[in-house]
Amino acid sequence: MKIIVAGGDGFCGWPTALYLSKKGHEVAIIDNMVRRKMDQELHSNSITPIASLEERVNKWEELTGKRISTYEGDLTHYDFLSEVLKQERPDAFVHFAEQRSAPYSMIDREHAIFTQSNNVVGTLNVLYGIKEFVPDCHLIKLGTMGEYGTPNIPIEEGYLEVEHKGRKDVLPYPKQPGSFYHLSKVHDSHNIMFACKIWGIRATDLNQGVVYGLETEETQMDPVLTNRLDYDGVFGTVLNRFIIQSTIGHDLTVYGKGGQTRGFLNIKDTVRCIEIAAENPADKGEFRVFNQFTEEFSVGELAEKVQKVAEEESYPTAITHLDNPRVELEEHFFQAVNTKLKDLGLEPHLLNDNVIREILRTVIIHKSRVIEGNVLPQASWK
């Protein structure tokens, strides 16, 4: 297939582009490079040194003979997006190109507005572009499990059968997002569902859990292809942040009681889930929702796992509890369904000590790049 990966320079997008290219698909990347600019804004960095996108795709072509086209531009600019769609005529459009950090969206008014305008307007442009230029294109949109929040009932995959006053219906699962970022994803889901209904667009919404890990088989082929590894309080996800803290002699900082439970998956499963969605497209007019995670952990459980491996690697560390900068339940029920991707062939890579050890050893190599002041929270919901 011809597949566009929007946000293809990012943590999830880059390994996805390589994986799909290796599988024989014709891949093009769209990216506005804003994630790299955010490092400058936040005075932060990836622990792993990241080559330019041009260097990355050139190295990939040198190693494999496969060419990935690149387009630098913004999905909020419709004229730019239109030209790319007319030139590429994709069969699938993989949409990672959004501001992805809840803490970033909560820094202040400007960051909240940027997050929602960038994410919602960009996705609306993609919907109109598909309608106008490539109506058979399958939109594969990265959503988030955070759209659901932490309800006191099991979380279904997108829809819930409801009985009310003697009548039944299947309705979108209620959303309880926990940040302006998560709200932007809810707005996206509603807009995509509406576009599928009125225009007959086909779309898959992948409500992804927290992604951990670093490399895939493709990114390990050469140092120029390596993936980014974030650790700061804005973009660093919890497991990676704990691993980095352990290597620099910092306590593992658990927010609040540590009972906050979420769905998690390995980056290797992220790229496979995209492939599964692309090869099994939604029907015309269908808005399909998959819950994209493989395991559930609490923050406290992850801290204990990292502490154990770090001590085995001669990096003993303590676990401390910080006042939670977020407004969230710290002890709650969490049970979510995640069967649809497994039914289509996903074989999960589960979290174990060796996965943590692999990331930790990579961090040790590059730990001189850690800016220690960035490992604590920098944004407050309050």
Helix (H, G, I), strand (E, B) or coil at 263: strand
> Where residue 193 sits, what CATH number does that domain have?
3.40.50.720
Residue 313 burial class via C-beta count within 10 angstroms: exposed 0-12, middle 13-18, buried 19 and up: middle
Residue 43 makes CB contacts below 8 A (sequence gap 6+) with: 371, 374
Query: Is 380 within a domain?
Result: no
Q: Average pLDDT, stretch 338-350?
A: 98
pLDDT at 22: 98
Instruction: Note if 19 is an active site residue.
Output: no
Q: Can you give the residue range of the structural domain that contains 83?
A: 2-375
Taking the C-alpha atoms of residue 187 and residue 209, their distance in angstroms, rounded to an integer, is: 18
Pick the catalytic residue from 144, 253, 294, 317: 144
pLDDT at 304: 98
* Tally of domains in the chain: 1
Which amino acid appears at position 8 of this protein?
Answer: G
Residue 323 makes CB contacts below 8 A (sequence gap 6+) with: 256
pLDDT at 117: 98
pLDDT-derived band at 206 (thresholds 50, 70, 90) equals very high
Instruction: Note if 148 is an active site residue.
Output: no
> pLDDT tens across 211-270, in order?
999 999 999 999 999 999 999 999 999 999 999 999 999 999 999 999 999 999 999 999
CB atoms within 10 A of CB 314: 6
Query: Is 382 within a domain?
Result: no
Query: Is 354 within a domain?
Result: yes
Instruction: Note if 247 is an active site residue.
Output: no
pLDDT at 202: 98
Taking the C-alpha atoms of residue 364 and residue 102, their distance in angstroms, rounded to an integer, is: 27
Going by the DSSP 8-state scheme, the letter that residue 146 receives in this structure is: G
Query: Is 288 within a domain?
Result: yes
Query: Is 123 within a domain?
Result: yes
Query: Is 381 within a domain?
Result: no
Query: Is 285 within a domain?
Result: yes
pLDDT at 189: 98
Pick the catalytic residue from 48, 123, 148, 185: 185
Q: Average pLDDT, stretch 300-310?
A: 98
Pick the catalytic residue from 104, 181, 212, 231: 181
Going by the DSSP 8-state scheme, the letter that residue 258 receives in this structure is: S
Residue 189 makes CB contacts below 8 A (sequence gap 6+) with: 143, 147, 172, 175, 205, 289
Percent composition of the chain: helix, strand, coil (DSSP 3-state, to 5): 40, 20, 40
> pLDDT tens across 74-125, in order?
999 999 999 999 999 999 999 999 999 999 999 999 999 999 999 999 999 9
pLDDT at 183: 98
Query: Is 55 within a domain?
Result: yes
